[in-house]
A and B are shown apart, each in its own frame.
Chain A
Amino acid sequence: MAVSSSSSRKKLLLMGRSGSGKSSMRSIIFSNYSAFDTRRLGATMDVEHSNLRFLNNMTLNLWDCGGQDVFIENFLNTSTNQPNSNNNIFKKCEVLIHVFDVESKEVTKDIEIFQRVLKNLNQFSPQCKVFILLHKMDLIQISKRNELFQIMFTKLQEIATPFNFNITGFATSIWDESLYKAWSSIVCSLIPNISVYEKQLLSFNNVLNAKEIILFEKTTFLVISSTNNSLKNSSDSSNDLDPKRFEKISNIIKTYKQSVNKVRTNFTSLILNGLTSSIYLDVLNDNMYIMIIMDHQDNINDDNLVLENVKIFSKLFQ
């Protein structure tokens, strides 16, 4: 079953106060920086644009907005004073990602700015999805993280309700896999027919009988969809699957990709054979990677067999 191929452009606004970590996140997800490399990023002047072709028919326009006071004032004032001008960044927005620095000393001001942003957004793009990222969580002690996040999130939810926005929140840090989880969710919320992917994965799994199959986007390695066989075997409860495994995989593979690049080659596929299971990671089509985790079964799994199956399956995904 072919996926519809009408191209669509989605505008993502990335806002937040200066130094909150927006450009760092953007560079890690979309430009393959390592977390350490983001140290050398400079302040963003005005707006920086990133374009990402996502899944064949979708283009994501990411607007990374500078967070200094003058820039924020500029954005908010332009939309108030010149609502129809081309500089009004709140027009035609699909997603707003607002970043809060957990270490910020001016939390009230942060929230106030968020409120003003929501107000303008409501005026020009009321259908926009709003995501909150509470960033730099690695600077907080682990025990306090959840609590802090909940406090902040409830407060922000209060702010957002008058505007009829349903907000989703994540606690993130560039130093662990939480970043990938947040961005995966953001991007997946934009995919119009995610259920299609799930169905197809299920049918594929019926053939393969693998433990788990995961779909990744090619450049950013964000998880698109996954299907899991372990639910069937309820007796097999000793393996409690790590809920954070997806983002961890994203993180690990991305780091691996970077190290491979240092040796001047490109990463194409990966086969890991362990004691009880094997992992196959291969290119599915131009935009996606597929990862199959299979148990070693009675009939010996031929690696090539699996890969052939993948190739056949990819045709279904055109």
Chain B
Amino acid sequence: MEEDGFVPIVAIFYSVFHPTEGTKVVHQVPSGSIVQASSELDSSALEEPLFDFDSVKNYVIPKPQICNRLVTFKIGSYRVLGYPVNIYGTHYARNSFNFNFCFVFPYNSDTTAYENHIKRIGKMFRTLEEQSNILSKKTFKDCSIFFKQSSHQHDKRSESVGNANISSANISSANVSNGNNSNGNNSNANNSRGGSLSGNSNIITPITSTSLVNDQINFDEKYFKTVIDSDGNNPKATVDKANNNYITPGQQSKNSQPNLSSIESLIQQIYQDLNNYSECLIPIDASNSVDVKLFPIFPPPPDINAWDVPIQTVKLRALVDVNWDPTMLKILPFINGINSIKKISNLADADYLLTKQCIQHLMHYKCIVILDLFLFSNIYAPTSKIGLFLYDPDLASECQAYVVAPTPFDNLPLHHSAINSDSKNNSTDNNASTNNAARNTINNNNDNASKDELYHSANFHSSSSRSLDNNLELKKLIIPSKTKLFQLYRSLNHGQTVRDWYVEHQQELKYIDIRRFLSFGVLRGLIYRIYSYPVANDNIRNNAKLGNTPNDNDNDDRTADIDDTLALQQENEDKFDNKDEIITKHIQRNQQLCLMKLLKKRLNMDAICTDMDTSRKEVEEMLNSLSDWSIINR
């Protein structure tokens, strides 16, 4: 990666469609990069052009249908970005003016940061050209090639005026045609010069033929100056003598018309500034400048789900300042790699949608990565990239440092049933993550601890307090070896839940924090999570049809339903059902419907649990009550 992340520009060139010669590269930097350098004295010129310009010239100045948009093409090993501009105007020879500022980059590079700027520069020059013809005048020393030659039909008007007046008339009429906003002023100037073309100052007449204009310009330069000096009323129509690069007819004073000293120096400066400083601010005149600052552009964040678990990658708490969004501040303490987004919004008492947006923002700025819920019923398996663990020693050491647990888990009850019963006991509060329930009570207590929360069972509470209290006892800490870690990763397979796997490898997992072990593996692409998808048989769909609730409500509308049903019931006096029963039945019914809807969407278990706010076991029970179902793990 480059130092500031932006790929340096290889070359910039400015090309134009010449009416008789066709597409030409007028200026290029570095010299000789696109076409052979014209002057042999330039020692810094490249010996060979970077690519064959002739083969791509039809894309640099393309047909009008492609113009006025960002056009990118590949030639050789280079990528060229440009914004070809086609301006239609009857005062131009051939009725249009075509130009393009092109930027050349190596092909395999990320040029997204430049794209908008190239478009902007193109559009800006298009507007400047439309308003005051700066480019068509500045491109060649003999600017009149771009404008219409006078034709014989218009001779009658000029013939009536004297010779000296013809030149001034033509030049000042060029004023008229080229400076829309100075029309009024020019006609005044004309009239004050002793009626040169008084009646015709509003008519756009073409400039005289090429050979004449240059002579007249030189001749009349003095003429202009003398006249203006005596005519104090009109300071605007001055010829810019100070600007020695160019003398053009119709050149207004610096304040009223953009003045581009040289296109060549402009693109040279853009090239140097952008490559050296990633920004440039080059004034073209008092009111226009080429102002570019390169910013890295991140792709928009992908859509995230309620059951995703965010985990911080930077210390967000350290970055908080006064301007942060209140929702963001609220949810920040709960982003710990354990809480799903739904959970975070519940705990922080924030609106779910706002929470989701905050998380997406954090993802966009790469402060957060997304994991999945950690449950003992998860299944993981190695990916093909597990070999990286062996090839990359840094990866392995990082893993070691991350997963080592400060205290060993030797106090855990290890019986299979014991673990299950523990988790069963703690699943009373219907949270999505059953096993997290026990943890979460501890987590909430230890909220002030660092984000590296260990999970413990109820028994562990004492040992964790022990670990914080490092004065007391120093427990022996054995860092798991890389081999062991690798073996453990490899031993994960499709057929085992984390629970079973833990029981099997208990000894090896003594000093290892399982959650961090698994999340490290997933984040680095060493293992991947296998999701369970419950799939219903057709019976469920039939049951849905039989059910007589016509509404498609969510859980939130349950209460409304209940009221309706109760109201209905009260009308039927002869039914003396238990109100509570009705409600529970109703809730049950609604839940079942909800579940059926979710099943149709083919979501995984995590999603269903989160959406319905129930534990996995309960979902399974509900499914059992509905009909046959099976699980697909993938």
Contacts from A to B (Cβ < 8 Å): 18-19, 39-43, 45-46, 66, 68-71, 74, 139
- Tell me the B1-52 residues at the A interface (CB within 8 Å): 17-24
Q: Of B89-97, B334-342, B445-453, which stretch is located at the interface?
A: B89-97
Which of B18, B22, B152 is the most central at the interface, judged by chain A CB atoms within 10 Å of its CB? Answer: B22
Chain A nearest Cβ from B496, distance in angstroms: 62
Chain B at the A interface: mostly helix, strand, loop or mixed?
Answer: mixed
List of 3 A-B pairs having minimum Cβ-Cβ separation, nearest first = A68-B22, A70-B22, A43-B94
- Tell me the B236-258 residues at the A interface (CB within 8 Å): none
Q: Is the CB of B23 within 8 A of A18?
A: no
Chain A nearest Cβ from B179, distance in angstroms: 23
Chain B nearest Cβ from A72, distance in angstroms: 8
- What would 14 A/B residue contacts be, using CB atoms closer than 8 Å? A19-B19, A19-B94, A42-B96, A43-B95, A45-B17, A45-B58, A45-B62, A46-B63, A68-B17, A68-B22, A68-B23, A70-B22, A70-B24, A70-B57
Contacts of B64 in A (CB 8 A): 42, 45
Q: Is the CB of B19 within 8 A of A70?
A: no
Given A68-B18, A68-B22, 11 extra CB contacts under 8 A = A18-B20, A19-B20, A39-B95, A40-B95, A42-B96, A43-B94, A45-B61, A66-B22, A68-B19, A70-B57, A74-B54
Contacts of A43 in B (CB 8 A): 17, 19, 94-96
Tell whether B365 is near chain A: CB-to-CB under 8 Å: no
Chain A nearest Cβ from B296, distance in angstroms: 36
Chain B nearest Cβ from A58, distance in angstroms: 27
| Nearest-CB residue, chain A, relative to B86 | A42
CA distance A18 to B19 in the complex (A): 8
Task: With A45-B61, A46-B58, A46-B63 as known contacts, state yes or no: A71 contacts B22, CB within 8 Å.
Answer: yes
Tell whether B88 is near chain A: CB-to-CB under 8 Å: yes
CA distance A66 to B88 in the complex (A): 18
Chain B nearest Cβ from A184, distance in angstroms: 29
CA distance A154 to B94 in the complex (A): 31
Chain B nearest Cβ from A40, distance in angstroms: 6
Q: In the complex, how many residue pairs between chain A and chain B have their CB atoms under 8 Å apart?
A: 49
Task: With A45-B61, A45-B63 as known contacts, state yes or no: A69 contacts B95, CB within 8 Å.
Answer: no
CA distance A178 to B22 in the complex (A): 30
Contacts of B57 in A (CB 8 A): 70
| Nearest-CB residue, chain A, relative to B24 | A70
CA distance A14 to B99 in the complex (A): 26
Chain A nearest Cβ from B155, distance in angstroms: 13
Chain B nearest Cβ from A177, distance in angstroms: 21
Chain A nearest Cβ from B310, distance in angstroms: 53
Contacts of B88 in A (CB 8 A): 42
Chain B nearest Cβ from A65, distance in angstroms: 12
- Tell me the B171-217 residues at the A interface (CB within 8 Å): none
Contacts of B62 in A (CB 8 A): 45
CA distance A69 to B58 in the complex (A): 13
Contacts of A71 in B (CB 8 A): 22
| Nearest-CB residue, chain A, relative to B61 | A45
Please tell me which one of the listed residues A42, A46, A68 contacts residue B20 in the complex, with CB atoms under 8 A apart. Answer: A68
CA distance A70 to B54 in the complex (A): 8
Q: Is the CB of B95 within 8 A of A41?
A: yes
Contacts of B19 in A (CB 8 A): 18-19, 43, 68
Chain B nearest Cβ from A107, distance in angstroms: 15
Q: Is the CB of B20 within 8 A of A69?
A: yes
CA distance A286 to B22 in the complex (A): 41
Chain A nearest Cβ from B145, distance in angstroms: 12
Task: With A40-B90, A46-B58, A74-B54 as known contacts, state yes or no: A68 contacts B21, CB within 8 Å.
Answer: yes
Chain A nearest Cβ from B126, distance in angstroms: 16
Q: Is the CB of B96 within 8 A of A69?
A: no
Contacts of B61 in A (CB 8 A): 45
Chain A nearest Cβ from B565, distance in angstroms: 66
Chain A nearest Cβ from B67, distance in angstroms: 10
Q: Is the CB of B63 within 8 A of A69?
A: no
Please tell me which one of the listed residues B23, B94, B95, B96 contacts residue A70 in the complex, with CB atoms under 8 A apart. Answer: B23
Chain A nearest Cβ from B49, distance in angstroms: 15
CA distance A69 to B22 in the complex (A): 6
Please tell me which one of the listed residues B21, B24, B58, B95 contacts residue A42 in the complex, with CB atoms under 8 A apart. Answer: B95
Chain A nearest Cβ from B26, distance in angstroms: 13
Contacts of A74 in B (CB 8 A): 54
